[in-house]
Amino acid sequence: MSEYTRDFFLDLDTHDELASFRRDFQIPEAMIYLDGNSLGAMPVSAQKRALDVVSREWGQDMITSWNKNGWFHLSESLGDKIAGIIGAKAGEVMACDATGINLYKAMTMALKMRTDRKVILMEGSNFPTDNYMAQGLIKQLGQGHEILFVEGEDILAAITDKVAVVSLTQVHYKTGKLLDMKAITEKAHAVGALVIWDLCHSAGALPIKLNDCKADFAVGCGYKYLNGGPGAPAFIFVAKRHQGKAAQPLTGWWSHAAPFAFEQDYRPADNIWQCLTGTQPILSLSVLECGLDIFGRVDMIKLREKSMNLCDYFIELAESHCAVFGFSLASPRERERRGSQVSFTHENGFAVMQALIAQNIVGDFRAPHIIRFGFTPLYTRYVDVWDAVMGLKNIMENEIWRKPEYNQRTAVT
């Protein structure tokens, strides 16, 4: 493998069927951006769209835009576009709110559909907001629910008839480990439990088949692989067969059966609109649409293949050039068991990542020891893999990471 050269990777780029998508994104020339799993790159079209929604729709059409420019239905129409990316149907997804808020809604609905059971099964090592939201919800409900934290390999066996809801993230945010959605959902249904899938690290990163897997509920992020922009609205999926069965608890007017009837009392909408609460951020939704529209042209099978190639090459190169410096692979080695990121542990991971970022190779760090590299096949080139590993090698060989400025903690890592 040491026979790899930079030219080898340039040649792969020349033959890459997805290569032209890079032109749909604005990426600083000198930067190798391997953090699209945390904040996706900006679609070129976003700039024009943002200007248009502010100056024409808001500035000129003003309040008529709720009808004229489709503002009122934007969460739904974007939800339909997201549905196409995650294996759902139109009318099953709403683009709205933050992931944590949507999880709160979905979990409440699911628990209401299984009132005879008190156990929520989650992964303790999951991205904390999911667990925090569940803990807050349990307190709020005050009905004696408990969370059973189980990790990776032990999940299937832990799904028993005591479990009301299994709530898992399909791709682990730290390790990139991909859970088997179909097997877990099947097992949960076999014992009478419901499943909520968090797709934050899989929506836009790999083909997802929610309905094929008979998923009950799902939530996910707009600003990671979907490239919706900083703080982009998230999404919530409720399978058609569950809609109208249990209401989510944030019963604002947009979730009412007839919001513009202004009735005194609450009546839940019996469709996906019940997942909304109030007025949605139209500027953010408008920009999110630019990211979603790109996926309308993407073959997700090809995207997955390139993603796995990029990750495989990165692991192979990093291990052959940098293993001597104390990195060890924290992601699954088998490509089918990985999402679209590669993580390594290193005891000085924070400083190493700071030094990399200073050299315009942008990944991120997750405490205590993980450095993460996200591979976004729409705009990451094969040659970026080579250049990133050579940059890492340089930082280690020359001990650049030891500089004091790379050892100072910042608020956001």
Ligand X SMILES: *Cc1c(COP(=O)(O)O)cnc(C)c1O
* Alpha-carbon 80 to chain mean position: 17
Establish if 134 lies at the interface with ligand X (CB under 6 A).
no
Backbone φ and ψ of 407, nearest 5°: -110, 15
Q: Name which of residues 227 to 246 contact ligand X (CB under 6 A).
A: 234
Do 99 and 221 meet the contact criterion of CB atoms below 8 Å apart? yes
**Closest to 331 in 3D by CA, of 315, 353, 320:** 315
Backbone φ and ψ of 262, nearest 5°: 45, 45
**Whole-number minimum distance, CB 83 to ligand X, in Å?**
19
> How far are the Cα atoms of 40, 237, 279, 372 from residue 282, in angstroms, in the given order?
19, 20, 9, 32
Do 385 and 10 meet the contact criterion of CB atoms below 8 Å apart? no
Question: What angle separates helix 128-141 from helix 99-112, to the nearest 10 degrees?
Answer: 40
**Closest to 278 in 3D by CA, of 15, 48, 101:** 101
Which span sits near ligand X by CB under 6 A: 20-28, 63-71, 93-101, 293-301? 93-101
Q: Which residue has the tokens 């992601």?
A: 331
Establish if 341 lies at the interface with ligand X (CB under 6 A).
no
Active-site residue, from 24, 35, 80, 198: 198
Q: Which is nearer to ligand X, 232 or 378 (CB)?
A: 232
**Whole-number minimum distance, CB 172 to ligand X, in Å?**
8
Q: Determine the 3-state secondary structure of 61 from DSSP.
A: coil
The question of whether 338 is a catalytic residue gets the answer no
Q: How many residues bind ligand X (CB under 6 A)?
A: 13
Phi-psi region of 360 (alpha: psi -120 to 50; beta: other; left: phi over 0): left
- Rounded-to-integer distance, Cα 146 and Cα 81, Å: 35
Q: Which is nearer to ligand X, 18 or 221 (CB)?
A: 221
Q: Which is nearer to ligand X, 37 or 354 (CB)?
A: 37
Among 94, 110, 194, 221, binds ligand X (CB under 6 A): 221
**Whole-number minimum distance, CB 134 to ligand X, in Å?**
11
Q: Determine the 3-state secondary structure of 361 from DSSP.
A: strand
Establish if 285 lies at the interface with ligand X (CB under 6 A).
no
DSSP secondary structure letter of residue 331: S
**Whole-number minimum distance, CB 266 to ligand X, in Å?**
25
**Whole-number minimum distance, CB 133 to ligand X, in Å?**
8
**Closest to 71 in 3D by CA, of 291, 290, 294, 284:** 284
The question of whether 198 is a catalytic residue gets the answer yes
Q: Name which of residues 111 to 130 contact ligand X (CB under 6 A).
A: 127, 129-130
Active-site residue, from 25, 104, 173, 223: 223
Among 98, 111, 378, 388, binds ligand X (CB under 6 A): 98
Among 9, 25, 173, 373, binds ligand X (CB under 6 A): 173
Q: Determine the 3-state secondary structure of 13 from DSSP.
A: helix
**Whole-number minimum distance, CB 289 to ligand X, in Å?**
18
Q: Which is nearer to ligand X, 80 or 130 (CB)?
A: 130
**Closest to 177 in 3D by CA, of 342, 378, 306, 380:** 342
Establish if 100 lies at the interface with ligand X (CB under 6 A).
yes
Establish if 104 lies at the interface with ligand X (CB under 6 A).
no
Which span sits near ligand X by CB under 6 A: 98-106, 152-160, 174-182, 349-357? 98-106
* Residue 325 structure tokens: 């410096």
Establish if 99 lies at the interface with ligand X (CB under 6 A).
yes
Residues 6+ apart with CB under 8 A from 366: 173, 174, 343, 372, 413
Active-site residue, from 9, 25, 127, 365: 127
Establish if 169 lies at the interface with ligand X (CB under 6 A).
yes
Q: Name which of residues 5 to 34 contact ligand X (CB under 6 A).
A: none
The question of whether 223 is a catalytic residue gets the answer yes
Catalytic residues: 127, 198, 223-224, 372
Binding site for ligand X (CB under 6 A): 98-100, 127, 129-130, 169, 173, 198, 200-201, 221, 234
